[in-house]
Amino acid sequence: MKDDTKLGGFSNSRQSQQRRISNMCMLHSSEQDSRPNPVAGVTGLMIGSELPISKHYLIPKTIKSFKKITKILLFMIKNTLSFSQFIHIPIPLVAAIGAAAVSTASMAAGGGIEFTSQDWQVACDNTRTCRLAGYQAENNSEFPVSVLLVRRAGANADVDGKIKLGGAKESSSKALMQLGSRHRISLLINGRDYGETRPFSAAAGNAELTATQVNALLEALTKTSKIELVLRNSRWQLSDKGASAVMLKADEFQGRVGTPSAFIKAEGAAKPNSSVLAPKPAPKLRFVAPNPKAVPSGQRKFVMRSSQLAALMKETLKDADRDCPNLDDKSPWRVSRLNNSQLLAQHDCWVSAYNAGSGVWVINDKKPYKPTLVTTSATSYDKGKLSSVQKGRGIGDCISQVDWLWTGRAFEKSHESTTGLCRMIEAGGAWQLPTYVTEVKIGQ
């Protein structure tokens, strides 16, 4: 089954994503914005032709694993084992609870969640769909591999699985060159062959797992297992480290803990599957294209000094020196009309080794201006569609993205996602792992 979640009206195909990051690996830390600076000191700003926001990709806050204090971890495990004398808790569940103590988790704005444990991660979005992604061990980059398991909310939701093989090194790339529609990838678990995957899709860059393979993989991931994807004489090994903790987190988010449908089974499940949380509908947004030629309500052009604009926008920032350190520099403001009373104002905010971010505000074209901050990390704007696309590291093998759409009076978030861990699977990352999705309709 294909993952057909609508992602805010933007194209998220593998081809379009590859185009967005086609040259990212060649972006050097010495790269600077060479745009001309037509604005000097107190020169008045008028609405005119729009200069494009920098197409650099930004660095997200890279997820780094942290360890809880040993005493806390031992206390959790000790109390879990003691409690299991009264209610039998299988070892996989105890291990998952222990692993969760040394993992990273974050709640995404809008009701989703991200959670990472060793070589596995889960991203659940605001519709309660969960996507679990596993990778090769971090110290094994010779044959990069990733598996994606997708489970929607609801009592009877199936689990779909896909695999993606990386070709970052010469040995693995040679093997992948042999991969075509005639060749299949085999799944081996602890030496047992679970057959071939469905045909490899060159367009999607992955192969779908069969139902038998998905079930075998889910069982293997709850315990120590050797999991291999085999193509002719080449083998990619999938890590099982962290999988139990990630599966337990998905169970918690979807309300499956203690039910027969849980990834991590507890003997004598006390809850029926009917208690599992139902899917939530995606929020609906109506995209309205801005009208840059709209006639101002006061029949007057908007004119403001750059220093005045900077002072006005600082009122929307908690810490301007941190959030937008370049707000007072000589780089030009870019002001364009959204409708007959509102304007879009943009200014470069910050530059790092291989990323840059621009601030974006919506303001009224006359007093009271009431500036509203959208983001200080924008990378592109085009006709009412605003994006922040950020690299996790310089080589660009992991990306985070947030999109906003103009709805007639404000920019509203339409999509938020990452492409998974930075594990050399492919340029731009392995998968789309959204934590926020919407259903977008075109309005007037």
Rg of the chain on CA atoms, in Å: 25
Residue 402, CB-side half-sphere exposure with 13 Å CA sphere: 16
pLDDT of residue 33: 36
pLDDT of residue 183: 67
Say whether pLDDT at 223 is over 90. yes
Say whether pLDDT at 84 is over 60. no
pLDDT of residue 20: 43
pLDDT of residue 17: 45
pLDDT of residue 4: 39
pLDDT of residue 173: 53
Average pLDDT over residues 413-423: 96
Confidence of residue 443 (pLDDT cuts 50, 70, 90): confident
CA atoms of 384 and 70, how far apart (whole Å): 50
Counting every residue, how long is the chain?
444
Helix, strand, coil percentages in the chain from 3-state DSSP, rounded to 5 = 20, 30, 50
Most trustworthy range by pLDDT among 98-112, 120-134, 175-189: 120-134
Say whether pLDDT at 430 is over 90. yes
Confidence of residue 128 (pLDDT cuts 50, 70, 90): very high
Q: Which of 29-33, 244-248, 310-314 has the lowest mean pLDDT?
A: 29-33
Alpha-helix residue ranges (DSSP H) falling in 63-200: 70-83, 91-100, 170-177
Confidence of residue 85 (pLDDT cuts 50, 70, 90): very low
Say whether pLDDT at 64 is over 90. no
Q: 3-state SS string over 385-431?
A: EEEEEEECCCCCCCEEEEEEEECCCCEEEEEEEECCCCCCCCCCCCC
- Cα dist. 387→18, 54, 55, 392 in Å? 16, 11, 10, 16
Say whether pLDDT at 55 is over 50. no
Question: At a CB cut-off of 8 Å and minimum separation 6, what does 215 contact?
Answer: none
**Which amino acid belongs to residue 126?**
N
Read off the DSSP letter of residue 223.
S
pLDDT of residue 91: 37
Q: What distance, in Å, lies between the first and last C-alpha atoms of the chain? A: 34
> Nearest Cα to 321, choosing from 307, 332, 310, 333?
310
Residue with token string 């779909």:
160
CA atoms of 137 and 120, how far apart (whole Å): 10
Confidence of residue 294 (pLDDT cuts 50, 70, 90): very high
CA atoms of 149 and 214, how far apart (whole Å): 8
User: Of 170 and 375, which is predicted with more confidence?
Assistant: 375
CA atoms of 175 and 233, how far apart (whole Å): 8
Average pLDDT over residues 421-437: 94
Residue 444 burial by Cβ neighbours in a 10 Å radius (0-12, 13-18, 19+): exposed
Q: Which of 82-86, 221-225, 239-243, 392-396 has the lowest mean pLDDT?
A: 82-86
Say whether pLDDT at 133 is over 60. yes
pLDDT in tens, 325-336: 999 999 999 999
Tokens found for residue 344: 């879009």
pLDDT of residue 41: 28
pLDDT of residue 175: 57
Identify the structural domains of the chain with CATH numbers, from first to last: 14-61+285-442 (no CATH), 128-275 (2.60.40)
Q: Kindly state the percentage of the chain with pLDDT values over 70.
A: 71
Please tell me whether the peptide bond between 368 and the residue prior to it is cis, using omega within 30 degrees of 0: yes
Confidence of residue 109 (pLDDT cuts 50, 70, 90): low
